[in-house]
Structure 1
Amino acid sequence: LNCPVGGLRTLPLRSRRAPRGCCWGLPTALLCLYGFFANLRPSEPFLTPYLLGPDKNLTETQVFNEIYPVWTYSYLVLLFPVFLATDYLRYKPVILLQGLSLIVTWFMLLYAEGLLAIQFLEFFYGVVTATEIAYYSYIYSIVDLNLYQKVTSYCRSAALVGSTVGSISGQVLVSVASWSLFSLNVISLTSVSVAFAMAWFLPMPQKSLFFHHVSSTQVSREMKVLNCKNGAVIQDDPALKRAPGWEDVESKVPLNVEEHPTDDQEQKVDILKVLKELWQDFLQCYSSWPMLCWSVWWALSTCGYFQVINYTQGLWEMVLPSQTSAIYNGGVEAVSTLLGAVAVFAVGHTKISWATWGEMALALFSLFITAAVYVMDTVRNIWVCYASYVIFRIIYMLLITIATFQIATNLSVERYALVFGVNTFIALALQSLLTLIVVDSKGLGLNIFTQFMIYAGYFAAISLVFLISGTCSIVKSYRRQEERYSEVTTPICPC
């Protein structure tokens, strides 16, 4: 395919083919380093003993019923605004906000005194968790589609390794070196400060999923206009499309907007249009029964998971006070994380018809979670509590991975954030309601052991719901198979 004066060349567009290492390797490496240091917090497994100890000298009622609920409420309130701001601001500013919030959280953890100050600390930690969406979605605006799986695994692995190293180092420093919990918080503050510094070097994305994306008219214009060596422009021609090499031109649709777009290329941000598109996508996504089923389990179980995770340290403290005995919170967190990662890896190589047996699997494993939480609450032995917690986390990580895969299988990339964000929002709404009724001092303000008995009953109810639903689904599936079989085997009358 040649111009009258020489070979054809396209406009300098970004290809959908795999970019060179310099295009995606550096931002991926920086983001992984950020994730590693942001999660390298050796003091986190010892947060409850620190607040109840001589450093802060808070009471059990203040910590469990007045401080910890603030995180749940702030996370819920911030989630949706942060979701929109992440896309509108194109990720990097929100990652910087997360890094700054981490610094504020651990600085206040070191020097803030009194109930009100620690409640503000919990609010800033709510900002940290709400802005995690920016970390996990930033890379999708930088790399091409065929690299999504690879870079996602890198980023998640970096965060997981950082968390594990932090837990192990915290346990070693407490048990072997006899460091104070205050010193562990100093290390955590240093680590998150390094993460904040790393975030400044991330390149600023030129596109996002909803507010800043390449319009169809712009893509059409870029595909139609071809630049010859002498500057002449060849317009779209049917004969041109039939010529060899046109497919290669089509593959060079720009993935990102130009670095300095002109006024006619710049997208006009219309918040109402974006919200309308999100609502239409929401209705379309949740109209599928399998999608709805897995999403319901996601929301319900994540609500219970957050509650157990948030108050487990409190339960351990009641079973074996850290002021009088050696504790191994960091080691337990590290073991549960590593074994959970092994279980997640194993399930990726397990072949099973989740469409048929998925609901029954959710019911069965939810029953196992119920047993783990019940044993953790009733058997007042710290080692039994540790073992039950490890089992609890492994099962949840296993099931949430399956649920994530099942949901993502039928979704386009643009809808990942929407569906997962909606599921998380519903989980937080349920958790806020549960916290207000069961935990908050303005509600029932129950003690920690009664709370965990309620959480065990909560997971038992989830198991029962999916047992009934799974049984109905299997019966319907077998009936449909019998009907098809009878239609095939029914003899046709010769007349």
Structure 2
Amino acid sequence: MGCWKTVRDKEWVYPTLILCTYGFFATMKPAEPFLTPYLVGPDKNFTIEQVTNQLFPIWTYSFLALLIPVFLFTDYLKYKPIIIIQGVALVINYVLLLFANGMAAMQYLQFNNGLVSATEVAYYSYIYSVVDAEHYQRVTSYCRSVTLTAYTVGSAMAQLLVSLEAVSYFYLNAISLGTVSVALVTSFALPMPRQSTFFQNSAKSSNETIKSNASNGCLSLRGKTQGSSTNPVFPERKQLALDNSLRTNEGKAFATAILQLWSDFKTCYSSRNLLYWSFWWAIATCGYYQIFNYVQVLWDHVAPSKNSSIYNGGVEAFTTLTGAITSFGVGYIKLDWAVWGELVLGIFSGVSSAAIFIMDNTDNIWVCYAGYMVFKASYMLLITLTTFHIASNLCMERYALMFGVNNCMALILQTILTIIVVDSRGLGLDIVTQFLIYGSLYSLITGIFLLRSLYTFIDYKLKNTRRNLEEDVTIITLDPLTQQTCTNTRL
């Protein structure tokens, strides 16, 4: 028994190691911080307006369109096939960046990049289907920290190579193609999960019941006389009926899982407190996606890459590291988040808004870089706080559902914002005006949550006052023997 327990305890090591290896090479893409300079440079020769208004919006539309189908199929297909699809899509991206030219090819690349983003859910969900619950905290920290490390390493390496003029942007893409190819090969070594979270569990338990009934002769088959126990059952007919029953049952299990998801959705958003926190999540994440996607365009506007040295890679590396440290520090802050959390959301959203306005109104690239660092660190702090607060109030399955819904809402809002503000078929605003709108969005969030925190604080004080009055209330009664008043204090 001791040996078997030791083997069971070590079963989590192999899939975690393979998944972390995949995550490292899939995220370590040195070309990513220099995508905009590459597209507007001599290799692709697009204008900054084409990149901003015709290429980048496609990623938003693709991500939104694919998110929900990918979410459902990820669980139904048990994760590994979706991770492999993500690896294939990453390889296609860098093949296109290296060898394809023209607007149509780059637009398809942006669509494909939306698929890469949508399939990230498989990477972050896979590990929970192959390890025991006692290892969840450890494997989660490994999988998330390795992607932050990989992005930092890739960005720092890119900056070093560019600053030393050792390679061109083209060869950064070639290196990135090599790393994502390693990730694709690694994905095939992942063990296939035995079960999924929503669909396969329901189907499995019901199918086992059907198989058990079939083996005991409890399955009603055509060709067997009703009520008769003496007529023989042909093996091929019995197997055919069993297969049909299993297929029917799997369909019912799928429908049952959808109904359960809907029930959990209503339960999650019936809490007013979680509804406000989810509102912040959706709006702030929408703004974060927009700024992350278009900040390279702003940097190129402030300091054109054709005329000056750029330090996008170094900034991304340092910012990611700062964000990781900030997020890590949330676990050591001792506050009553139910009372003070909304005030923290309001204050740091204001910091983010100020940073965006500074980025938008400066002609100094270093000030612009510094503003981005402050913005991203603030967002990482708040999104970690938000996920922690929501997760502490929900079971794991409902948290996963709320995580998906909040991100989906963020994407819907981002799509609306992109259509109106960015897309050439909408207003097609210049990058300076766009960032003015993003800063105003965070100002709106700041105002809402400062007012909300004031309401929460007043409500908290009133409840405390009422509770104290109830504890100290004096009850005056008439003593029936002496006909005198008797005073009692209820503690």
Gap change, CA 1:442 and 1:207, over 3 Å in 2: same
Runs of 4+ in 1 over 6 A off after TM superposition: 218-221, 262-267
Mapped partners of 2:157, 2:347: distance in 1: 35
Q: Which residue of 2 aligns with 1:182?
A: 170
Q: What is the SS of the residue equivalent to 2:131?
A: coil
Check whether the contact 1:70–1:122 (CA below 8 A) recurs between aligned residues: yes
Q: CA deviation at 1:404?
A: 0.7
Check whether the contact 2:207–2:246 (CA below 8 A) recurs between aligned residues: no
Q: Specify the code of the residue in structure 2 equivalent to 1:365.
A: F
1:82 aligns to 2:82 (yes or no) = no
Q: What is the SS of the residue equivalent to 1:494?
A: strand
Check whether the contact 2:91–2:180 (CA below 8 A) recurs between aligned residues: yes
Q: CA deviation at 1:177?
A: 4.0
Q: CA deviation at 1:19?
A: 6.3
1:96 aligns to 2:79 (yes or no) = no
Q: Which residue of 2 aligns with 1:439?
A: 422
Q: In the alignment, which of 102, 120, 128 is matched to residue 108 of structure 2?
A: 120
1:268 aligns to 2:254 (yes or no) = no
Comparing 56-65 and 205-214, the one that deviates more: 205-214
Q: Which residue of 1 aligns with 2:374?
A: 391
Q: Which residue of 2 aligns with 1:366?
A: 349
1:297 aligns to 2:280 (yes or no) = yes
Q: Specify the code of the residue in structure 1 equivalent to 2:376.
A: R
Comparing 280-289 and 45-54, the one that deviates more: 280-289
Gap change, CA 1:19 and 1:215, over 3 Å in 2: farther
1:202 aligns to 2:184 (yes or no) = no
Q: Specify the code of the residue in structure 1 equivalent to 2:476.
A: C
Deviations 1:401-445 (A, max 9, x none): 011111111222222321111000000000000010100001100
Mapped partners of 2:131, 2:205: distance in 1: 23
Q: What is the SS of the residue equivalent to 1:58?
A: coil
Mapped partners of 1:207, 1:419: distance in 2: 21
Mapped partners of 1:139, 1:491: distance in 2: 59
Q: What is the SS of the residue equivalent to 1:492?
A: strand
1:459 aligns to 2:447 (yes or no) = no
**Greater per-residue helix proportion:** 2
Q: In the alignment, which of 385, 394, 415 is matched to residue 402 of structure 1?
A: 385
Q: Specify the code of the residue in structure 1 equivalent to 2:440.
A: G
Give unmatched runs, 5+ long, in structure 1: 1-8, 10-14, 222-261
Check whether the contact 1:210–1:274 (CA below 8 A) recurs between aligned residues: yes
Q: Which residue of 2 aligns with 1:282?
A: 265
Mapped partners of 2:362, 2:166: distance in 1: 29
1:424 aligns to 2:407 (yes or no) = yes
| TM-score normalised over the length of structure 2 | 0.87
1:30 aligns to 2:12 (yes or no) = no
Q: Specify the code of the residue in structure 2 equivalent to 1:381.
A: N
Comparing 170-179 and 142-151, the one that deviates more: 170-179
Q: What is the SS of the residue equivalent to 2:46?
A: coil
Instruction: Give the number of aligned pairs.
Output: 441
Comparing 206-215 and 171-180, the one that deviates more: 206-215
Q: In the alignment, which of 460, 467, 470 is matched to residue 487 of structure 1?
A: 470
Mapped partners of 2:56, 2:355: distance in 1: 23
1:323 aligns to 2:306 (yes or no) = yes
Mapped partners of 1:349, 1:320: distance in 2: 39
Give unmatched runs, 5+ long, in structure 2: 210-241, 479-491
Q: In the alignment, which of 36, 46, 54 is matched to residue 66 of structure 1?
A: 54
Q: Specify the code of the residue in structure 2 equivalent to 1:406.
A: H
Comparing 211-220 and 439-448, the one that deviates more: 211-220
Check whether the contact 2:93–2:109 (CA below 8 A) recurs between aligned residues: yes
Q: What is the SS of the residue equivalent to 2:166?
A: coil
Mapped partners of 2:447, 2:139: distance in 1: 38
Q: In the alignment, which of 475, 478, 491 is matched to residue 461 of structure 2?
A: 478
Check whether the contact 1:18–1:146 (CA below 8 A) recurs between aligned residues: no
Q: Specify the code of the residue in structure 2 equivalent to 1:109.
A: L
Check whether the contact 2:75–2:196 (CA below 8 A) recurs between aligned residues: yes
Q: Which residue of 1 aligns with 2:365?
A: 382
Check whether the contact 1:19–1:143 (CA below 8 A) recurs between aligned residues: no
Deviations 1:24-61 (A, max 9, x none): 11110000000000001000000000000000000111
Mapped partners of 1:216, 1:42: distance in 2: 43
Check whether the contact 2:12–2:135 (CA below 8 A) recurs between aligned residues: no
Q: CA deviation at 1:265?
A: 8.9
Comparing 172-181 and 93-102, the one that deviates more: 172-181
Q: Which residue of 1 aligns with 2:153?
A: 165
Mapped partners of 1:178, 1:73: distance in 2: 36
Deviations 1:142-169 (A, max 9, x none): 0111111100101111111111110011
Q: Which residue of 1 aligns with 2:489?
A: none
Q: CA deviation at 1:178?
A: 3.0
Q: Specify the code of the residue in structure 1 equivalent to 2:424.
A: S
Comparing 345-354 and 407-416, the one that deviates more: 407-416
Q: Specify the code of the residue in structure 1 equivalent to 2:146.
A: A
Deviations 1:120-153 (A, max 9, x none): 0000000000000000000000011111110010
Q: Which residue of 2 aligns with 1:228?
A: none
Q: CA deviation at 1:294?
A: 1.4
| TM-score normalised over the length of structure 1 | 0.86
Gap change, CA 1:146 and 1:219, over 3 Å in 2: farther
Identity in percent: 51
Q: Specify the code of the residue in structure 1 equivalent to 2:413.
A: L
Q: In the alignment, which of 320, 338, 358 is matched to residue 337 of structure 1?
A: 320
Q: Specify the code of the residue in structure 2 equivalent to 1:268.
A: E
Larger radius of gyration: 2
Check whether the contact 1:206–1:212 (CA below 8 A) recurs between aligned residues: no
Q: CA deviation at 1:215?
A: 7.0
